[in-house]
Structures are given as C-alpha cells and as structure tokens.
Amino acid sequence: MELAVATATVAVASTTRPHRARSFVSSRLAVPRDSCSFVPSALSSASRGPQRRRLPVTSAAVELREASSQGGDSVRVTETLQPGSSVKFSVEVPPSICQQCYETTLQEYAKRFKIPGFRPGKVVPENILINYVGPKHVQDATIEAILRHTLPQALSSVEDRALEDSVRILTKFEDMANSFSLDNVFRYDVVVDVAPEVRWLSEDKYKNLKVVVEIDEIVDAEKAAEKELKRRHKALGLLRIVADRGLQVGDLVVLDIFAESITSDGSKGEKIPSAESKGFHLDTEENNNLVPGFLGSLIGIRPGETRSFPLQFPETFEQESLQGVRAQFTVVCKELFYRELPELDDSLAGKLLPGCTTLDQVQERILQRCKEVEKTAIEQATDNAILDQLGKLVEVDVPRALFQEQGQQLYGAKLLQLQAERKLDKDQLASLSSQQSVQDYLESERENINRIIKQMLAVGEIFKAENLQYSTEQLVKEVESSIEEFKRYNQDYDEGNIKQQVQDVLEAAKVLEWLKENCINVVGSRNKT
C-alpha cells in the first residue's frame, strides 16, 4: 500500500561533487540481467543508522556533471513511500543525458580497444567502433553508464537516511534494453531502504519503565546449592543390583523405550522415533524432562518386565512436533540399580570438594558459588526484561535490509557457537551455511528478529538522547577480542561489521546501566514455570 507520493525534479547540473552518504552505488555498477531486483555489490552491511561516506565517482561521471551543468538538463524523479521503511524512485532520464552517456561509453571503448587499421590516438569512426565491439555490448554499457550517472542524483533526497546494502533496481535489465532508444526518455524504478522512524507509544517514552524479572528456579542459590551437594554425594555412591523388589524413586534403571502415536479413533498410528531409545539410563531423582506420568507408570517394574501405557505429550513440550501428541509407550526394564551412599559427614569433605576439611566448609563454598551464579542470572534476567519492555514501547516499520542483516548476524553467531561446542563437522557447517538454510532461518525467526531490531533501535535512541558514551579503549579491546574469536575457529569476518556490532553491544550496556540508575522500577519477580 502506498503511503504518500511526492514528485521532485533533480537537476543533474546541481551535482558537481560526490554526495556524502552511505554508499548507494558501486564504482563498477552491476546491473540485473534476469531478475527484478538488484543490490550493488560494493555496499557493505551495517545494523545501525546511516553513516556518511563518499560515493565512488569516476572521472567520466564528473565530466558528465560538468557537461550537464552547461545544458541545464534534469532527471525527473517521482518518490513513493513504501511499507518496510523504503522509498521507491521512478526515474526519467532525458535523451540529452542518454546521449552523453553513450558518447562517453564510446570514448572509453576507443581507449580500451586497439582497432585494426587505426593507430593509437587516431579517431575511430563510430560505426566501425560499434561493429568491432558489438552493438549489444555498446547498448548494455550505455545503460550501465546511465544508471551509474543518474542513481546518486535520483537518491539524493534520502542520502542521509539510506541504509547500506539496500539499493535495489526493480526494472529488469531486459526491459530496459528492449525499450532503450537515444531519442526517447529512459525510465527505470529503484527502491532503497531508509533508517526507520522509532515511534514511542508512551508520552514519557522510557522515563518510567516498569519491568517484571523472571528467574528460573534453578538459579535460586539455596536450592541450587542443595542440589549440587546432593549430586556430589550421589557421585561418591556405589551402584548395587536390585534383586528382590521393583523400581522405586531413588533407583537408576536401564530401559528400552518404544512409542507409537494414537490416532483419533484410539488405534495405533505410526512409530515416534524421536521418543524411542534403547539402553536409556533413567535416574529417577532427575525426571524433570520426562513426559508427565511416565515415571509413575513404571514404579514397581522389575528387570525383564514389559509395560505398555498411553500418555500425552504436553502442549509446552520442547519438541514442537510432539506437542499435544497422544502416544502408546512400551517399556522394557533391562537392569535395575540402587545407590549405596556413604554417610554424609566431615570425612567426605575432601572428596566432595577438594581443599575442604569439614562438611560445613563444603556447604559454604558451594553456596557462595551458587550465589555468584544467581547474581549473574538475576542481572541477565533484568537486562532481558528491560530490553523486552523497550521493544514493546516502540513502533518501527522494519526495513528489509536491516532485517536481513540482523538475521544473518544472529544465524552466524549460532553457527559459531555450534562450531565452538564441536557440534558441527565441515560438511554440516557447509550445509547450514547455504543460502537456503539462511533463508529458512530468517523465515522461522522473523518475529524474534524483528523484536531484537526494535530493542536495538530503542537502545540507540536512548543512547543519543541521553548523550551517553563509552571509551575508545573499550571499543578497541572488544573488537580485538572478537576478531581473535573468529580467527580461532577459522571463520571469515569483516572488521568493519565486527566494530559496528561491538559498538551496538557497548551502547546497549551503557543504556542498560543508565536505565537501571535513573528509570527502572522493578515491580516484582517471579520464577519461570
């Protein structure tokens, strides 16, 4: 849907020096041959607002501007605002400018080619030069010259707002070539993404921010310390075979698990491979990840015994494909053990935690470590809550270029983490790095990516509004550290992009710190369920 339409006439004569903007046009313009969109190859990506940079300009383009200045001819541009913070430009180039680009193209060909029968510097007749180079090549090069010459002027109204890596020529090259004539107006459409407007939904913007902090139960220091001590105590126990009873809580059991879906009419459906396992070791005291009712259905089972029972996966189950699925489980008990634990007293202190001599000392040190983890978790949860709330307080029409770049950064970070954890081999990494894999990720994570972009833009607005700063030393140190991380895993990287990402992180840290000191009102906290 078109939001607004404005028409402007941009005089070629007015541009006698290069625009200062994010690089709109590459010095060697590549034009689309068989698609309706085009992104100049020289544009580098960035996730923040527009940066100023000189456009690359050839000497031929400068000459054309000077010639145009004398003739006073102009390029007519119609601007149309588009969804996704983009602007469409319908460009009309007069025949006089097309003729100048044509003549310049011929001059360049005359310099580059040695025409048989003509000495260097000798004027080659136009028809001979065209026949030597080929009419089609001359026409294509002329069209490229027109685009290279007129794009900066056409886009000059958004030079301070245009996002890099976002210029797309919509008109197919084939259509340009078919309609091209030096006697007629040359027309093409181009669209560019611009820095989006951040609209605050509240009059006081971020000045009275209220957040609710959610904390996982696992980071409660007291409970975490208790679980850790119990885990260490269990690790010192001996496993004994159960011979005279069935399974009870506290035992460790080895199971073969089979599962089939249950259809709507109650009959058995297909097997569920992801829910099956042979030789599965189940510690009955650590059953948080089990389907509700699974352990209860096995209490009392003995080695060699088989049990079959129906269960339903919860709607919140981690594996989405199994959420809400009814299944018939068949379980075979292979082995059953109980733990013979040593008495928990000072004699175990050194084994529970090296360097300790008493049980109290063990408990104190474990609790201290858990408190440090809890503090870090609370700080992280608070930051997440603030960012989440900021994202809800702004309205942003996210540009395509910004979405693509942010999504690719997130996907790249995900692959880097998997590689660092040695979860990917070279073939898997190559497969996941394919264009299709990236696009699949972008589509599946669209909502999350847009949410992060809104948070990022809100942070940027606050950073500027409150005149916050970070030190150059911080920036240099973090950039060097990030580059070392890429080198460690033999990953390609762009130092400019890394610097930009580090700047975003440092800005966010400063904004979060400032908000906590000046604006945040934590209205409560709750454990995640």
Backbone angle region of 93, left / alpha / beta, with phi > 0 → left and psi within -120 to 50 → alpha: beta
CATH class entry, domain 238-340 = alpha beta
CATH class entry, domain 76-195 = alpha beta
> Strands 74-82 and 326-340, how do they pair?
unpaired
The whole-number pLDDT of residue 264 equals 85
The whole-number pLDDT of residue 177 equals 93
Overall pTM > 0.75 = no
Which residue ranges does the chain devote to CATH 3.10.50.40? 238-340
What is the rounded distance in angstroms from the CA atom of residue 497 to the CA atom of residue 337? 55
Which of 368, 272, 362, 363 minimizes the C-alpha distance to 311? 272
Structure-token match 């310049």, residue found: 104
Which residue ranges does the chain devote to CATH 3.30.70.1050? 76-195
Buried b (16+ CB within 10 A) or exposed e, 400-411: bbbbbbbbbbbb
Structure-token match 């070791």, residue found: 281
Whether 386 and 211 have beta carbons less than 8 Å apart is answered as: yes
The whole-number pLDDT of residue 74 equals 87
Q: Which CA distances in Å does 230 have to 102, 275, 362?
A: 83, 29, 12
Query: Which CATH number describes the domain made up of 359-522?
Result: 1.10.3120
The whole-number pLDDT of residue 292 equals 92
Which of 83, 86, 78, 89 minimizes the C-alpha distance to 189? 89
Whether 77 and 191 have beta carbons less than 8 Å apart is answered as: no
The CB-side HSE value for 213 (13 A sphere, CA atoms) comes to 17
The whole-number pLDDT of residue 117 equals 79
Residues in the chain with pLDDT values less than 50? 1-71, 529
Residue type, 432: L
Whether 450 and 403 have beta carbons less than 8 Å apart is answered as: yes
What is the rounded distance in angstroms from the CA atom of residue 497 to the CA atom of residue 295? 50
> Strands 306-312 and 326-340, how do they pair?
antiparallel
Token pair of 457 as six digits = 């833009």
Residue ranges in 393-494 assigned as alpha helix (H): 400-420, 426-432, 435-444, 446-465, 472-488
Token pair of 518 as six digits = 């000046």
Which residue ranges does the chain devote to CATH 1.10.3120? 359-522
> What would the pLDDT profile of 489-504 be if each residue is shown by its tens digit?
777 788 888 888 899 8
Q: 446-465 vs 495-518: helix axis angle to the nearest 10?
A: 70
For the chain, give the number of residues: 529
Burial (CB count within 10 angstroms: exposed 0-12, middle 13-18, buried 19+), residue 92: middle
What is the full DSSP assignment across 84-142? TTEEEEEEEE-HHHHHHHHHHHHHHHHHH---TT--TTPPPPHHHHHHHH-HHHHHHHH
The CB-side HSE value for 256 (13 A sphere, CA atoms) comes to 7
330 beta partners: 258, 308
The whole-number pLDDT of residue 525 equals 60
